Each structure stands twice: as structure tokens, then as C-alpha cells.
Structure 1
Amino acid sequence: MKNTILVTGGAGFIGSNFVLDWINAGLGTVINLDKLTYAGNLENLEDIKGNPNHIFVHGDIGDRALLAKLLAEHKPRAIINFAAESHVDRSIHGPEDFIQTNVVGTFHLLEEVRAYWNALVAANPAEKENPQFRFLHVSTDEVYGTLGPTDPAFTETTPYAPNSPYSASKAASDHLVRAYHHTYGLPVLTTNCSNNYGPYHFPEKLIPLCLLNALAGKPLPIYGDGQQIRDWLFVKDHCSAIRRVLEAGKLGETYNVGGWNEKANLDVVQTLCSILDELKPKADGSSYKEQLTFVKDRPGHDRRYAIDATKLERELGWKPAETFDTGIRKTVEWYLQNQGWVNNVTSGEYRNWVNKQYSGSAA
């Protein structure tokens, strides 16, 4: 089986980082299928423009005819499914898109992958007993619900208890992937990651939003009291974990991917401000922290997420390379050095979204 993989959602934040790392490491050909909704951005992939090992296809994982054509034509040895609507606030305002993409879209993708897998087995019966093909589904820690201050971190056996339309839709997709393994024998792997941050992050999420607002002299919106705790994972570490699971993960298993970096949102933004004070000080000598603004908390806001990534380290030998301090500094430096990307991505619909989300909500 040739070294070609199909990546869905490969123009989004995590997907594009994965594709860039894969191509730049010379690991093979990537067929990159992306619908190019608001957070999908071909400019993320500018560094590999014209690379013969990167084949971009504009399309939807719900388009079964297109999926069948791509699978038959390129015969990938693996599929990595990043395609998802992923913003909690957007899911509160408009849940239907999340059901369509994350649940119905994943179902259509699985059905076409199942047909492809059956054809592989028919052509080579040994593939059934010792599969070389892999379907890796990328999910989130939000499917596990919320934690109290002293609760143990999420493990792979933590019961699902999603609290937003987004996390409920991702939980549904996880269950479908599991069912296709147990019912049809599809060789699947699932990863559940904590909060990612890093280059090419669409500026609706906490870190890039506050970073860009800081530079623009705008308020830095902090939900509630800012003490919501997340485990922060540098996106390049997440990509390396996915590659490791794809290479050596046990079929049918789930692997939690975390950064071992539990931080309150307020602490994250204050750290970001301190780095900006150092790297791009304001002309009047004041700190970016003076722009902090507390806004009304969002509905059903989970208080704490924490990932226990022990299984991934114990079984596959993976650990993150970055601490939060090193990762956040690299992130700030990247945004400062890539203002052209920032200016292009923060036009049009994004501005409308920010105005809708935060107007009149300062507390």
C-alpha cells in the first residue's frame, strides 16, 4: 500500500498544522479534503503551495460520491478525520451546522470508508486479520463533560457527559466510530485532545482573540471570573501524537492527548500580556493587562477540563515537547511575525461574528 493518506479538514487550524508537518517531514502524499467554511483557510497551506505531494480537494465529507471517487483514485493507506465544526459559542447560537457536519458528515464518511475497506479485504483477505489501513478520528476532551477542582483528570474510560451542542455532536461521532469498529471490524483509532493553541489558530478562540485584541488596543474579553481551567496543548505536539497513534496505536483503542498544562483562562491571558509587554511594548509604557475586561459567562460553560495522557506515554512512548511557557512564547512570536495572515483572516464574517458574540456583554 503506497504512502498516501487522506486528511479531512486539512485547511483548518489543527488539520493544516498536521498537513504542513507531514509534507515538510517527507512522509508521503496528502490528499487534503476541506469544505473551506469560515475557519478553513488555504492561506494556512501557502508554504506547501505547488508541492506535488499535497493535493487539495475542495469538498464536503458528506459528499459520498466525491469520497468514493477520492478513495478509488488515490487508495490511501490511512484517513485522518479532522473535519468538524468546533467552536462552542457558535454551537450555542446555531447547533444545526454541528449536527450536520460532526454527526451526519462523520456517518457518511464512515460509510464510504467501510465500502473502501471491504474492497481492500476482498482484494487481499489477509488485510482483514492484519490490517495495514487505518481510520483515525480526531476528537476532544469536551465529550467527557466538566470536572470539579479536585476531580481526577479525564482518562480514556471516563464516561461521556457532553454539555454543549458542540461536545454532544463530537460525542456522537466518537460513538459512531467505535460502533463501526465493533460491528464491521473497521480498523479505527480515536484521539481525544485538550485545548490546542499555536500557529494558524482562527481568532475566535481565547488565545488568538486576546492576542489580536491586545495589539489592536481593544478589550480582552474574559468570560465570568476567568477561572475556567483547561489543559493546554501546543498544536505541533498534538500533531506528533497523532502521527504516533497512527503508527503504533492498537486498533479500536482511544488515546487521550494532553499537554500536562492546566491553566485558568485568566492566567493564560495574563501570561500572553506579559510576553507582549516584552516583545512588543506599548508606546505609552502601560501593560496590555490593563485591557482585560470581564464579560458575562456563556451558557453551560464547563468549569474545568484536564487530560490524563498516561496511557499514550505508557503504551506508545509519547510526551509533549513543549511546556506551556515555551509553547505560548512561540505562538506569540508567530502571530507577531505573520501579520499578513492575521489581517487576511480577520476580515468579513469573522468581524461580524465577534461583534455578535461580545457586543453589549461587558460586565
Structure 2
Amino acid sequence: MSEDLRRMLWVSLPDQRARRELYWMSRMPGTRVRAMAQQEPVGQIDWIPSTYTRPIKRFVEAGALAWVRGLTDKDPGEYDWVTSLELCSLVTGQASRWRRAARSAGVRRPLQAVITWENLPDQPLYKVPPYRQALSSCRDADLLLCMVDAARDHLLANGFDDELIRVVKPGVDTELFHPAAEPVAEPIVVFASPLADNKGIDRVLEAMAIVRREIPEARLKVAGRGPLEHLVQAAAQDPRSGVELMGSLDTAGVADLMRSAAVFTTAPRPTWKWTEQLGLAYLEALACGLPIVTTRCGTNDEAVQPPNRLVEDDAEALADSLLHFLRDPRLRAEVAVANRSHALTRHDLTTQCAAMGSAFAEIEALHRV
């Protein structure tokens, strides 16, 4: 390893979202990241503009059937680490092959890290070539960095070495995401997630219709884009719905939106290859001191804990918990203090990025001669 600077090559997924894993790697102390990515990344990152071989675009993110072009042209001797997201992603398989080729040629570095959120014990993609081969290639990785506790359980269930596994929960910018100067008295609910079936905006709209029978002045502000956007547009055009579509917001816009609301809600439900893992929007809501009402899905209980509400995927249940908070300003104030404290102590961005750096350093120490 370089004594002064950890040099990392990040191999991006074609659909990778900004201000997430790559950004966190760039925030690790003493780390310089160069990223192969389609879009220019956010942060102090050296960008290698990259294109992908992608026969079809049916799947996105970790399931994308896509390979980055140009990785084999990179000199492995220039890097201490090669890092990618998820065990089954095809770019992870590429990174593994590239690293093994360097070892075969007598180049000792880079080490390989895989970042994972995977919490399905029996991920169906693992049964399908070439995802199965990508998973197998991860068994040579030097570090498996889990973003949730459930990911560690997943790795152990699939036979990975516990000595190479580290768990560090993600952080949130607690300076940008902070509570409003004064508690919001109006009964405003905010939804800030993709407008897709798996995030349940349809269920939230149903629940808000029930809420407005009890509190006619209650409103729902919706931020996001996605295939179910037409449902929100239709509701927003009806003045009786109390729904407002905010569109796609940048990070500062989401923070401002959170501070304009009294309660945060979403309603995730599983798909055939995904279930909620943690939910970064929950962390943003916690940091803003918003009570959270959401459906129980996957392992989102790692983020949403009492006195916040996890309910079944049912509009009546969702509405009942929304009313629980909307009717009680004093309760909301108490929850705001607890949620803000939780975000500061367990999910502060600077602290968590430093902890990620420590996980890399622990593995580096094992490889020093």
C-alpha cells in the first residue's frame, strides 16, 4: 500500500446513483479515488468517462447486464484497491478477472473490495449465468464491506469468510439534513423516493385519502420520478386530494422538502430479486427529525426503529400510523429529538466514512510485509 495515500480504482455500475457508495469511498481519509463511470461523479473523484457493453436494459443497478469497456487497459500497479458494488454485478466479475490477471503477471496489487447491501438469503440472480460467475469471483475478494447487518448474514449463509467481512452502516450529511428551525405545525406528509411499484407510492396515495377523511387539511408532498408518476400527476390535478408533485430534487432540495413536513412516509414492497435493505431516505428523515411511517419490508427495521412506525402493507394500517403522529404535535417533537440523536450518533457521514476507511486499513495491515 502507499504509505501516504490509498489509491483506489472504482468500477461503476452503468446506473449507479450519485452521493452513495462511490461518494463515501472518496470521503474516506487518505483515499484518492479514480472512477470508471458513465456520468461524472459527485465529489473529489478523478473521473474516467466510460461506456458499457449492454445488450439489454431490462435490469438496472446491480442486476444490469452490462460490462464496462476499457478496464483491461488500466495498469493495476497504479492502484492499491479495485472496488465495485454488489457480488453479482457483472462489473464486479470484471474487476475480479482484472485483479487475478495482475496477480498471474506477478503484480501484487491491487487488493479487491466489494461493497454489498444484499439481504436476500437466496438471491435468485445467483442462479443465472453470468451473475453466478460474478458471485463466484468474489470469493477471492480481500474485503467484503457490508452496508447493513443483514448483508453479513447473507454472506455467511453463502459460505464467505467472516474474517474478510466488515459492517459499516452508511452515513448522512447531518449538516445539510437537519431539523427545521421551528416544528412544522401543518399536517404535511412527505414522500421522497422513486415513484416505482417497489417503493409503494400507490399505497401512500390510498393511505392519504383515508387520512384526509379525518384531517381534511392534510397534504402529501411527493418528490421523485418513475413509472408510477402518472398516479401522482393525476392526484395532484385533483384539488380534493391534497397531493403536490415536487418532481426530481437535488440533495439540498430534498433536505428543504423534509424540513417543510411533519411526517415522512414510504411503503416499500419486495420484488422477485429485491427487498428493502436500509433506505437512505429514512436516514435523511431521521437527521431532519421527522417521525417515520413505513411498511415493514426486508431489513428496513435496521433504520426504522421505535418510536417510528413499521406497519403491514395495508393502506388502513399506514393511514392509522400517519394519523397517530399528525394528531399529536407533542409526540412529534419528542420523536424529532430521538431521531436526530440517532442520526448523529449512528449515521453521521464523516464518522461513517472514517469507519469505512478503518475497515480498509484493517485489511491492508494483513497484507503488509
TM over 0.5: no
Higher relative contact order (CA 8 A, sep 6+): 1
- Structure showing greater Rg: 2
Question: Structure 2 length normalisation: TM-score?
Answer: 0.38
Q: Which has the higher helix share?
A: 1
Question: Structure 1 length normalisation: TM-score?
Answer: 0.39
